[in-house]
Amino acid sequence: MNRNVLLEDLSVKDYKETWDFQTELLQEIVDTKIENRRNSTQKATKNHFLFVEHPHVYTLGKSGDLSNLLLNENQLKEKGATFYKINRGGDITYHGPGQIVGYPILDLENFFTDIHKYLRFLEEVIILTIAEYGLKGLRSDGETGVWLDVGTPFARKICAMGIRSSRWVTMHGFALNANVNLGYFDNIIPCGIKGKAVTSMEAELGKKVDLAEVKEKILKHFKTLFEVEKFITL
């Protein structure tokens, strides 16, 4: 089992370009697995972790409801935003500047073959990360992601998650609202959940956070939980 993870920070990158890149990486891993099974070989499969910030974009999961996007095509252009219907789970979400997006493209056969556990571990990575800033992240039953003040009228989501997997290889991932402009969430029903607010680390702490520092903490907790051997920076 290969528990090394290739780490790449893409900085600011177009959503569709990044989606295509993820797809290429996933397909490379899947092809290796198919080759191994055909030829009874044991060539190691790669694992990747991408960090990225996207320009303003709304994405709708495969089971999502388009009516949860509250803008028409012209209004999207006015907001400087794009829209994509994509192949992850979940409903609609927003990505934009100041948000930390993480895409682990892992062969789970190198770690554990349990999608439910994988999602819970991703949530735990974020819960442990924001705890270092004094924020108490929680899970909300039936609502993947990380929330604050669950079970109160003030419940609000700070990190959205949505994944896809093929032959135990994952893509897509999490979007942690760090210093993001929350106004862009007003144009959707986030994750298709009515009456639930969205927040950010900046809004909760009353100050911007250092994105590089938050990323370091995410990697630290990811490494521990997933028992990563080492991150190899590309």
Rounded to 10 deg, the angle between the 115-131 and 211-226 helix axes is 140
Helix, strand, or coil (residue 114) = coil
Instruction: Tell me whether residue 183 is annotated as binding.
Output: no
- Asked whether residue 161 is marked as a ligand-binding residue, the answer is yes
> Which residue is catalytic, options 191, 201, 214, 218?
191
| Residue 7 to residue 14: CA distance in whole angstroms | 19
Q: Is 95 within any annotated ligand binding site?
A: yes
Q: Is 49 annotated to bind ligand?
A: no
Q: Which two tokens stand for residue 78?
A: 């006015």
195 is in an annotated binding site: no
- E strand or H helix at 99, and its extent? strand 99-105
The response to whether 88 counts as a known ligand-binding position is yes
Distance of CA 71 to CAs 86, 97, 130, Å? 18, 19, 31
Residue 185, annotated as binding a ligand: no
175 carries a ligand binding annotation: yes
Q: Which of 95, 92, 61, 57 is nearest to 77 (CA)?
A: 57
94 assigned ligand-binding residue: yes
Q: Kindly give the pairing relationship between strand 82-85 and strand 57-60.
A: parallel
Q: Is 89 a known ligand-binding residue?
A: yes
CA distances (Å), 133 to each of 53, 205, 206, 217, in order? 21, 8, 12, 11
Q: Is 163 helix (H, G, I), strand (E, B) or coil?
A: strand
Residue 160 annotated in ligand binding: yes
CB 93 within 8 A of CB 163: no
Any catalytic annotation for residue 191?
Answer: yes
Residue list for the binding site for substrate: 88-95, 160-162, 173-175
What residues are labeled active site? 191
Residue list for the binding site: 88-95, 160-162, 173-175
